[in-house]
Amino acid sequence: MKAFHLVLAMAWPVIAGAQVEAVYTDAEAANKARLLIEEAHALHARVTEICSDPNATGLLYQVAEEVVRKLDDWPDHYRKRQALTSYHACRQSMVDVQTYAYACAQGGFKGGAEKYMQRRWTEDTASCDQAIRASELSQGHGN
C-alpha cells in the first residue's frame, strides 16, 4: 500500500500539470469566440422566427437548452478562461439569446423588456465582433 501511495505521490504532479497545460492560444481563443458568436446569431434568428408563435413554446425552450449546452462548452478553468477574457461579450451574447428565448416562451417579450433585450443583444454582439476584429489585427490576419 505504501508503494501505491508513493507512486501516486510521484505521478500526481505530472497528471495535474498535464491538465493545467491545456491553455488556449490567442488564435484558439479567438476561434472559439468566433464559433460561439456565429452560433448565437443562428439561435437568435431562430428565436426571432418563432417568438410570436403561441404554439412554439416547446421550441423556444429547446433553443434555451441548446444555449445552455453551448455555454457549458465555454471553459471554466481559470487558465483556459483567461485567454477568453477578451471575448466575454461573445459569451454574454449567448446568454442574451437564452434570455430572449425564455422571455418569448413565457410571453414576456413586450414593451420595455423587448427594447432592453434588443439593446443588450446589439451592444454585446458589437463588443464581441470588435474583440474578434482586434484579435485578428493583432495576429496579422486583418484585411
In tens, the pLDDT along 2-39 reads 554 444 445 555 554 444 446 778 888 889 899 999 99
- Cα(30)–Cα(78) distance, rounded to whole angstroms? 17
pLDDT exceeds cutoff 90 at 42 = yes
Question: What is the model's pLDDT at position 50?
Answer: 94
Of how many residues is the chain composed?
143
On whether the CB atoms of residues 82 and 30 are closer than 8 A, the answer is no
With a pLDDT cut of 90, the percent of the chain lying above it is 50
